[in-house]
Amino acid sequence: MNKTYDIVIAGAGVIGASCAYQLSKRGNLRIALIDDKRPGNATRASAGGLWAIGESVGLGCGVIFFRMLSSQAKRQAHGAAVAVDSSTPHILPQCFFDLALQSNALYPQLHQELIERHGMDFKFERTGLKYVIQDDEDQLYAEHIVKHIPHLQSQIRWLDRQALRKAEPSVTENAHGALEFLCDHQLSPFRLGDAYMEGARQNGVDLYLNTRVTGVLHQGGRIKGVRTEQAGDFHCDTLINAAGAWAAELSEWATGTSIPVKPVKGQIVLTERLPKLLDGCITTSDCYMAQKDNGEILIGSTTEEKGFDVTTTFPEISSLVQGAIRCVPALEQVNLKRTWAGLRPGSPDELPILGPVDEMPGYFNACGHFRTGVLTSAITGVMLDKVVHEEALPLDITPFLAQRFSKVALPA
C-alpha cells in the first residue's frame, strides 16, 4: 500500500493544518496531512487567545511561566522559596514581536476567506487584552512593559480605576486599573484547526487521521517518505514536521538530530455558559480569562514540565479558580464545567522552530510553537509555503532555524 505525494505534513494541529491550507492553495501539489490523536494535543487544549503583544511581554499564558522562571531564579539565588518578583518583565526578542504581529494581522482576512470559500467560521472576535493591575507589584510590571515597547505605544492604552470599571464592570473594585493591548484578540482554537483542515481538504489535500507516523524513509541523503502504522508507506520529496509536543522524535528519525522540543503541560478551567461577563480578554498575574462566543469563560493556565502527563490536578485547578475569583468575584457564584490539560510544544528560547535544516534536504520544521501556536499558525503556514518553494519570505527566518541550537560551530 504505497502512496505518493509531493508533500507530507506530519501533525494536523493548527500548525500542520495551516501549512496544508496555505500549500493547498497552489492547486498543483499532492499533499497528505497525517495525524495521530494523542492525549494532550495543544490545539484542542488551547485558549485561543491572539495575544500578540500580551504573549510577547510575558502575559496571558506566559504570566505563570514567567512567575515560575522568576521564582526559580530567586530560589536559586536565595536558597529558599520567596515571594515572586515582578520587577523584570519577561519580554521576548524583537523577532518574535515581528512574527506574532505579522501573524496577528492575517486573521481578519483569513477569517473572511475561510468562511467565504470553505464555510468554516473560527469565531474571530475583536476583544483587546487587559492586564488587570491588582497591586503595586502588578503596576510596576505594567510600567516596565510599556517602557520596553516604545514602538507599540499606539497599540496600548492605560485604564485607570474608573475607566476599568466602565469597561469591565465585573472586574473587582480592588483593581487599580489596567493596561490594555488593543490589537490582541481571540478566536476558537479548535475551530481554527478544523477550518484550516477543512479548507485544505476542499482544496484537495488528503487527510489521514488516526494514522501514526512510525519512521522516516530516506534515499540518497534526502527525505523519501514516511512509514505509518495504519496506512503503509508514503513517498514524498518534502516532509514538514508539525508534530507539536511530539516533534523531537520525528526530527530524530528524519535528520538524525533531535530538536529541543519538550511537552509543557498547561491546565485549563472552563465555566458553564454565562451571560456576557467580560467585555474583552483579561490577564492578571494569577491567570488569564477569555469569555468565548458561546458564553463560557476559559481560565488558564499552568506551566508544568511533567513529560506527556495530561492529568488535571486538584491544587493547580484550585489555584486557577482562586485567581479567577480574585479578579472577577462574581465567578464565585457560577459553575465550573470542565478542566483539561494540554501539552505545549515548548522550545528553550520560546521561539518556534521553522524552516529547513542543512543536513537533510526535503525536511522542514514547523514546530516548537510553545504557548503561541494558535497566534502564529497563520504566519507559519505562509512561511512554510514560501520556504518550501524557495520564495521570498515576509520576514527573516534565520532566528527561527533549528541551527540556532547547534552549540558547536560547523567547520567552514
Partner 1 sequence: MSGHPVIVGGGSAGMAAAIELVDAGVRCTLIDEASRPGGVVYRGPLRAGVDLGYLGARYSKALGKLHTDFAARAQSIDLRLNSRVVGGDDHSLVVLDEQEQLQSLAFEQLILAAGCHERNVPFPGWTLPGVMLLGGLQLQIKSNVVKPLGTTLIAGTGPLLPLVACQLHAAGAKVAGVYEACAFNRIARQSLALMNKPQLFLDGLSMLAYLKLHGIPMHYGWGVVEARGEGELTEVSVAPYDDAWKADMTHVRRESVQTLAVGYGFIPRTQLSQQLGLAHGYSTDGYLRAECNVWQQSSLEHIHLAGDMAGIRGGEAAMLTGRIAAVSILQQRGVLNAAQAIERRERYLGQLASIKRFRSGVERYTARGPAQVELPQADTVICRCEQVTREAIDLALEQGVQDMAGLKMRTRVSMGDCQGRMCVGYCSDRLRAATGRADVGWLRPRFPVDPVPFSAFKHAGTEA
Distance CA 59, CA 377 (A): 19
HSE, side-chain direction, 13 A CA sphere, residue 331: 27
Choice between 310 and 401, CB closer to partner 1:
310
Q: How far is the CB of 412 from partner 1 (least distance, A)?
A: 49
310, amino acid identity: V
Kindly state the cell numbers that stand for 174: 480592588
Residues at the interface with partner 1 (CB under 8 A): 37, 39, 44, 190-191, 193-194, 198, 201, 207, 209-210, 271-272, 311-312, 314, 317-318, 321-322, 324-325, 331-340
C-alpha torsion sign, points 281, 151, 91, 370? positive
Choice between 158 and 340, CB closer to partner 1:
340
Distance CA 258, CA 167 (A): 48
Q: How many residues does the chain have?
A: 412
Q: How far is the CB of 328 from partner 1 (least distance, A)?
A: 10
Choice between 123 and 165, CB closer to partner 1:
123
Choice between 186 and 188, CB closer to partner 1:
188
Q: How far is the CB of 39 from partner 1 (least distance, A)?
A: 7
Q: How far is the CB of 110 from partner 1 (least distance, A)?
A: 19
Choice between 214 and 322, CB closer to partner 1:
322
Q: How far is the CB of 317 from partner 1 (least distance, A)?
A: 7
Whole-Å CA distances, 263 to 33, 57, 66, 341, 353:
22, 22, 17, 11, 14
HSE, side-chain direction, 13 A CA sphere, residue 106: 22
Q: How far is the CB of 16 from partner 1 (least distance, A)?
A: 15
C-alpha torsion sign, points 143, 145, 151, 157? negative
The enclosing H or E element of 102 equals: helix 94-118
Choice between 207 and 393, CB closer to partner 1:
207
